[in-house]
Amino acid sequence: MPNGLRGVFVAESSLSYLDGERGELFIRGHDIRALVEGVGFEEVCCLLWTGRLPEPRALRCLRRDLGAARVRAAEDMWLFSVALDAEDPVDALQAALACLPASERRGDTGRDGKLRIVAALAVVAAAWWRRSQGQPLVAPDPALPHCEDWLRMLGIDSMRAARVRALDAWMVALAEHGTNASAFAARVVASTRADSVSAVLAGLAALKGTLHGGITRRVHSMLDAIGDTGNAAAWLERELESGRRLPGFGHPIYRARDPRAAALESAAAQLSAAGEPTRYLALARAVEREALRLLGERYPGRRIAANVDLYGAALLDAVGLPPELFIAAFAATRAAGWLAHVEEQRASGSLLRPEHRYVGQAPLRRLTA
């Protein structure tokens, strides 16, 4: 039986194609690097949910409707108030979604239902952050693109276009990535014909685990701890000597460099070229150089390369997103992908019901203590 279902096909999907050997990722046929460079989050939502990038008019409609959904989520804040008391922002997102009325969830399969979920996650994450900082909530502005408005609601300077563009690039890079643990969890729930909110809650629960959504924050802590390019080699060597894994390196599928690492390195470089402080970009590059050397010496012949989280952490730091919100931001982005998986799984009509290989006690003839 393959360890952790590696290499087992559980569904047919036309959402994303990953080539681990070559380090390539295509979303509905589009190279991730071209998407990160050329489109924003709303366009990727449209691509994931309809199979095509939107024409300008359709994009305007989508922006308008997503803006309206953010306003509605803010108006529903009384419904989510219990969520804002959660200690952890991902707990807050889970609690908020669980508060969406069952009557609404029944009809949530269309585009409006998807927009409602994506908007609610962004609005609640921002509200949770503002409240945790003792700051008043910032009302959404439905006329703005989603990413720009989200930064505004968080209280981060959204007037700096380069920052907005960088966060948008990160959201595009992270919106979908095959049948990973959280997408699989969402698919399992969708396969039972439960509603989309329940499926997204399953995705959120899986993402929260330290092996999935938490690595960007661990990379950020690593960069904090190293502090300066001159310290990188010694710090990394100490970590490896202590038997610890280096966050931001290695991937279950990619043997070559994760293509999203390249896309986000370039997005962070563009941010720097626009005059924004990117204190961890040079450090992340030095860490990559030294880590590849050390990992190559330690595991000759094994290809362990930089993954999305290495430059994701440097980029989010430069945008000004607090590390406490990294997983919540990931969830508010990846929800677009989960919802596409949910729809695909529903359309397949099959109930995901694998089996286990029994390794327990042989059948007993009578009850024994």
User: Which one, 127 or 310, has the nearer CB to ligand ACO?
Assistant: 310
Q: Which stretch binds ligand ACO (CB under 6 A): 7-15, 47-55, 249-257, 317-325?
A: 249-257
| Minimum distance from residue 253 beta carbon to ligand ACO (Å) | 8
Residue 207: closest CA among 321, 100, 341: 341
User: Which residues, 6 or more positions from 195, have their beta carbon under 8 angstroms from its beta carbon?
Assistant: 105, 106, 108
CA distances from 356 to 1, 2, 237, 351, 359 (A): 9, 12, 40, 16, 9
Residue placing its CB nearer to ligand ACO in the complex, 238 or 245: 245
Residues of span 306-325 touching ligand ACO by CB under 6 A: 307, 309
**Whether residue 251 lies in the annotated active site:** yes
**Segment interacting with ligand ACO, rule: CB under 6 A, options 77-85, 136-144, 145-153, 301-309:** 301-309
**Interactions with ligand ACO, residue window 183-222 (CB under 6 A):** 212, 215
**309 classed as catalytic:** yes
Interface pattern 254-283 for ligand ACO (x via CB under 6 A): ------------------------------
- Which of residues 122, 169, 263, 304 is near ligand ACO by CB under 6 A? 304
- Those residues whose C-beta lies under 8 Å from the C-beta of residue 367, and which sit 6 or more positions away, are none
Q: Is 299 in the site for ligand ACO (CB under 6 A)?
A: yes
Nearer to ligand ACO, 113 or 248 (CB): 248
CB contact set of 337 (below 8 Å; sequence gap of 6+): 15, 16, 48, 175, 176, 177, 183
The active-site residue, picked from 146, 177, 220, 251, is: 251
212 catalytic? Reply is yes
Contacts of 304 (CB under 8 A, 6+ apart): 249, 250, 292, 295
- The Cα–Cα gap between 175 and 329 comes to 11
| Phi, then psi, of 279 in degrees rounded to 5 | -60, -25
CA atoms within 13 A on the CB side of 30: 20
- DSSP label at residue 203: H
Helices and strands (H, E) in the chain, number of each type: 17, 3
What is the pattern of x (binds ligand ACO, CB under 6 A) and - over residues 73-102? ------------------------------
The stretch among 95-103, 243-251, 267-275, 360-368 that binds ligand ACO (CB under 6 A) is 243-251
Catalytic residue IDs: 212, 251, 309
Where on the chain is the footprint of ligand ACO (CB under 6 A)? 212, 215, 245-252, 299, 302, 304, 307, 309
